[in-house]
Amino acid sequence: MKFDIAVLPGDGIGPEIINQAVNVLKKIAEIYGHEFNMREGLMGGCSIDECGEPLPGETLKLCKSSDAVLLGAVGGPKWDSLPGDKRPEAGLLGLRAGLELFANLRPAVIYTALKDASPLRADIVKDGIDIMVVRELTGGIYFGKRGRVNGGPMGESAFDTEVYSVAEVERIARVAFEIAMKRRKVVTSVDKANVLESSRLWREVVIRVSGEYPEVSLNHMYVDNAAMQLIRNPEQFDVIVTTNIFGDILSDEASMITGSIGMLPSASLGKGKPGLYEPIHGSAPDIAGQNKANPIAAILSAAMMLRYSFGLETEAASIESAVVNVLNKGYRTADIASKGAKVVGTYEMGQLVADEVESLNS
Ligand code: NAD
């Protein structure tokens, strides 16, 4: 099969880790007979330096005309003093808006080989944890009506509004159920339906959509309980689907229980538009250009791209198995290294994963 991929390496460690993801994709193309047409674009600080803006029209056009976008990371101290809308991160917001990405997928996986990195106790982590948080990305309180009111009995006040329409909840619920169908077939919908009207609508709609997926079991959890259960018994979760603000908080909590930021990929999906795939970490300026960054989050982001944008499940699973095998053989980048580990650099780790993909398929 043939796919166009827009590749945006970005700043800091972005180019180093994306190079490794691209190499693994080339290996997959070679083994499975696909054609990945990878075209690079400028975004973030490097783009500000070259053409004065974080997301040039040309880059957005490139992304829109591709089947998927693979992004490294943007930002760094060099551009920190610029005004908000001129900063590298503004490019990211522009890209998300331009591609109308409404679903954010954040897996939180604790690999057996890395379970010591988790801040959770071994008897809680057991043999590993594998949760997918599906966060609604374009609605809710971050986009609802807000303002300030002067002159009330208590002085000035401010308000933000949580608003969800049936259509918005339906489309994010469908994404969650579709993903659950490819996993362990359990969806936990997180809301605050004991207090919020928007949550009551959310719950009604999720229940209705669940009727289309009789194989998936659905349960509901209040957000305060979900925050607690993620620490107490994370094993119970498969797919968590939730609103923008609750997802913002819970996806960070879920990723922190894995204990290794350099390992976590993410995807943002829209309807009928290219998806955006990127590691959850930033540009790590403290280790940029030193061959120290962990490329696994970027490599796993490429695997998510194969699965969710191209429907190449076997190829995606092959990358994920290769990562597990390399970790099981004791190889680690410095960020995840414990005593006795074989510590390798960014390039070497990428090469090890690519070689493992090859040997898994030979
Ligand atoms: P960061 O994620 O870049 O780094 C936090 C810490 O984790 C650092 O110590 C770093 O060395 C380490 N780290 C991150 N990724 C790693 C990897 N792959 N391998 C090994 N170690 C890794 O977060 P920060 O320091 O808060 O931000 C740095 C810059 O990145 C800022 O300009 C910020 O705005 C930007 N940022 C960008 C994105 C994005 O592009 N999506 C996300 C977050 C932060």
Which of 313, 317, 316, 338 is closest to 327 using CA atoms? 338
pLDDT tens profile 30-49: 999 999 999 999 999 999 99
261 alpha carbon to ligand 1 midpoint, in Å? 9
Which of 357, 268, 275 is closest to 3 using CA atoms? 275
CA distance 88 to 169: 31
pLDDT score at 98: 93
**Strand 275-279 relative to strand 265-269: parallel, antiparallel, unpaired?**
antiparallel
* Residue to substitute in 283, 332, 346 for testing ligand 1 pocket (most ligand atoms within 8 angstroms of CB): 283
Q: Are 190 and 221 in contact (CB under 8 A)?
A: yes
Q: Which domains does the chain have, with CATH numbers?
A: 1-99+274-362 (3.40.718.10), 102-261 (3.40.718.10)
All residues at 6 or more sequence positions from 176 whose CB lies less than 8 Å from its CB, including other chains: 134, 187, 189, 239, 241
281 alpha carbon to ligand 1 midpoint, in Å? 5
* 130 annotated active-site: no
Cα→Cα distances 266→44, 77, 299, 312, 362, Å? 18, 24, 11, 17, 29
Which of 360, 362, 353, 316 is closest to 19 using CA atoms? 353
Q: Are 31 and 356 in contact (CB under 8 A)?
A: no
* 224 annotated active-site: yes
Candidate list 27, 115, 192, 292, residue with the active-site label: 192
CA distance 109 to 113: 11
Which of 205, 254, 199, 201 is closest to 221 using CA atoms? 199
Q: Is 285 helix (H, G, I), strand (E, B) or coil?
A: helix
Atom 34 of ligand 1 has which residue's CA nearest to it?
A: 75
pTM beyond cutoff 0.85: yes
Q: Which residue has the tokens 């469908």?
A: 174
Task: For the chain, list residues with pLDDT below 50.
Answer: none
For residue 73, the ligand 1 atom closest to its alpha carbon is 40
Candidate list 80, 116, 160, 224, residue with the active-site label: 224
Radius of gyration of the chain (CA): 21
All residues at 6 or more sequence positions from 354 whose CB lies less than 8 Å from its CB, including other chains: 20, 23, 24, 27, 322
pLDDT tens profile 10-36: 999 999 999 999 999 999 999 999 999
* 142 annotated active-site: yes
For residue 76, the ligand 1 atom closest to its alpha carbon is 32
pLDDT score at 128: 83
Cα→Cα distances 162→139, 140, 191, 248, 281, Å? 8, 5, 12, 14, 28
**What one-character DSSP code corresponds to residue 21?**
H
Candidate list 252, 271, 329, 342, residue with the active-site label: 252
Whether 72 is in the pocket of ligand 1, judged by its Cβ within 6 Å, is no
All residues at 6 or more sequence positions from 338 whose CB lies less than 8 Å from its CB, including other chains: 116, 117, 332
Please report which residue ranges of the chain form alpha helices under DSSP H: 14-32, 45-51, 57-64, 88-98, 122-125, 166-181, 197-210, 223-232, 244-256, 296-308, 313-328, 346-360
pLDDT score at 231: 96
Whether 269 is in the pocket of ligand 1, judged by its Cβ within 6 Å, is no
pLDDT tens profile 263-305: 999 999 998 889 999 999 999 999 999 999 999 999 999 999 9
Whether 87 is in the pocket of ligand 1, judged by its Cβ within 6 Å, is no
* 347 annotated active-site: no
Using the CB atoms, write b or e for 262-280: b if 16+ within 10 Å: bbbbbbbbbeebbbbbbbb
* Residue to substitute in 17, 18, 261 for testing ligand 1 pocket (most ligand atoms within 8 angstroms of CB): 261
Which of 29, 16, 354 is closest to 5 using CA atoms? 29
